[in-house]
Amino acid sequence: MMVPTREGLVKVPGGRVFVRQIGNGRGIPLLALHGGPGGTSCRFETLASLASDRPVIFYDQLGSGRSDHPSDTSLWRVPRFVEEVTAVRQALALDSLHLLGHSWGGALAAEYMAAAKPTGVKSVLFSSPLIDTPRWIADANLLRTQLPDSIRRVLDENEARGTLDAPAYKVATDTFYGRHVRRLPVGSEPRCEGVAGNDTIYRQMWGPTEFLSNGSLRTWTRAADLPAITAPTLFIAGEFDEARPETLEQFRASMPDARLVSIPGAAHAAMREKPAEYLDALRAFLREVESRK
């Protein structure tokens, strides 16, 4: 049976964003926030398997994918992205929802919960989340120590010289990514045709690579605000994730109602590397939350 799908544009501060809703089941809707900053929602198609129980909704954040691409760089601020979440939620009349954020989307979910203090959020799902940039960089530096000496040397030398566009540096960076970002063979995933991210946003807000942050997020953190999240919370990440499960466990322990699932053999793209295990964990969590009186 075909699962009903709706697509459209929603007006948000600064422009319009492309929104996709899959399914119209009776369960509480799931709203998913993609990573980046400057990524797209195209990889969230994995979540469509959850649409038999509930509407699954995701959108391309402003400046990315099928959303408007304004040239005003002052739009790439965390508070505006929070306003964007609020606008999407209001446009779709999502009085109650489960909120999932992946990577930078996890940061956005944490910021939304802390800054907007929303009502009706039945649970929060932090998928390989950024919670604290200094801690993220410290974890990245720890993971770099586990790379072969030759790879570390290329990274260190090019960073010292500022030659981050050097081919050798890209190869060394890809070695890190292959271990801790996406443990899938190159070309093994279907391409998101015609759906491009926005590297300008990534560089302005984050920086040149996953393990170097010199953008506006370089000192960002919401770690101290996690204990105020009283909604049931799931942290989920891959065993080899750059969002290290060991660090996520510390964040989890600071919260009143949170649990952690680590997906064996996966990295930062666990929902695509190990989709069955990832989706099983999400289903179990959502059903447990909704079974509460």
Q: How far apart are CA 198 and CA 209, in angstroms?
A: 14
- Residue 28 DSSP label: P
* Catalytic annotation present for 241: yes
Q: How far apart are CA 80 and CA 62, in angstroms?
A: 10
Q: Are 226 and 257 in contact (CB under 8 A)?
A: no
Find the catalytic residue in 49, 60, 241, 262: 241
Q: How far apart are CA 89 and CA 67, in angstroms?
A: 16
Q: Hey, which residues does 17 pair with through a beta bridge?
A: 10
Strand pairing report for 97-102 and 258-263: unpaired
- Retrieve residue 280's tokens: 């099983």
- Residue found under tokens 């989920």: 236
Find the catalytic residue in 103, 127, 128, 262: 103
- DSSP helix/strand/coil, 293: coil
Query: Residue type at 178?
Result: G
Q: How many other C-beta atoms are found inside a 10 Å radius of the C-beta of residue 145?
A: 7
Structure-derived torsion over alpha carbons of residues 32, 109, 113, 72, reported in degrees to the nearest 10:
-110
Find the catalytic residue in 34, 98, 180, 268: 268
* Catalytic annotation present for 103: yes
Residues designated as active site? 103, 241, 268
